[in-house]
Amino acid sequence: MLEPVDKIWMDGKLVPWAEANVHILTHSLHYGLAAFEGIRCYKGKSGSAIFRLQEHVDRLFDSAHIGMMEMPYDRKQISEAIVETVRANRLDACYIRPLVYIGYGAMGVHPGDNPIRVAVAAWRWGAYLGDEALANGMRARVSSFTRHHVNVSMTRGKISGYYVNSILAKREAKADGYDEAIMLDPEGYVAEGTGENIFIVRRGKIKTTPLTSILEGITRNSIIDMARERNISVTEERFTRDEMYLADEVFVTGTAAELTPVREIDNRRIGTGKPGPITLALQKAFFAIVRGEDPAHESWITRI
């Protein structure tokens, strides 16, 4: 259950949380065409900061462009709205959700000239997959649901309707007693989780799914850069589920999931069954960066 805060930014102004409403015939509610982002603000020793704000705003605009939704605001205005929302709610650490959606007007699959609306919400949110998973690793299963094909869903877009696929896979995994689902692409190679990118480590080298049928994760890109800075080999290459079983380490990344180790997949222990040394090193470095403790990556954070 979300813990309400004071304000949500809607179409250029802050409104009370309880009054941030839309009409029941809002087009995106019925047909799923909307673009969104997940962004985190972290509390550090010298104040709070938003992680990779500009990259998230750029991806929001890219997603809207893919969905043929013309943004009524520019990038600077949206960035300022995000910062304003965090400040207005006096949040030192939070999850931030910008949403671009098609408003009330015409119904039917074609939205006609319905207005494009924008909202920004923020709320307190801890570890997405739980503190236990973040510290000791999660249990995952390969889903019976297939991830998107590039000619079915344009996978560079973070589009709301695409996440029906994720919801079904997540429910299946949770019903079977797992923490998360791992999804394969239409050709049977490992794609991504329901909201995370996947990395495997074997013999000291990292491999991650290439940008074919997956979302280009901002945390994913950050981890790749961080690994290469430490002279750890990173290859973007397809891999199979059995190669994943044989990995020494597996971890997932995402704004919500941050960097979460995977200790077991399909009832097969991964490595020693505990987070491995590369996973732990990158996780520690990641949290130092987002909390503003790494001056080498100061450009990745926007201080509040």
What's residue 121's pLDDT? 98
pLDDT for 253: 98
C-beta of residue 182 within 8 angstroms of C-beta of residue 200: no
Q: What is the pTM of this model?
A: 0.96
pLDDT score of 127: 87
- For residue 86, the surrounding DSSP H or E stretch is helix 75-88
Q: What is the pLDDT of residue 213?
A: 86
Backbone angles phi, psi at 65, to 5 degrees: -65, -45
Per the residue annotation, which of 7, 43, 45, 158 is the catalytic one?
Answer: 158
Pick one of 3.90.1150.10, 3.30.70.380, 3.30.470.10, 3.65.10.10 as the CATH number of 7-123. 3.30.470.10
> 131-290 adopts what CATH topology?
D-amino Acid Aminotransferase; Chain A, domain 2 (3.20.10)
- Between the CA of residue 72 and those of 33, 171, 182, 272, 293, what are the distances in Å? 16, 35, 36, 51, 36
**DSSP H/E element including 119:** strand 116-123
168 CB contacts (<8 Å, ≥6 apart)?
A: 145
- Taking the CB of residue 204, how many other CB atoms lie within 10 A of it? 11
Domain ranges in the chain with CATH number 3.20.10.10: 131-290
Q: What are the residue ranges of CATH 3.30.470.10 in the chain?
A: 7-123
In the 8-state DSSP scheme, what is residue 126? -
Three-state DSSP string of 143-158: CCCCCCCCCCCCCCCC
Residue 158 designated active-site: yes
Q: Which of the residues in the chain have pLDDT under 50?
A: none
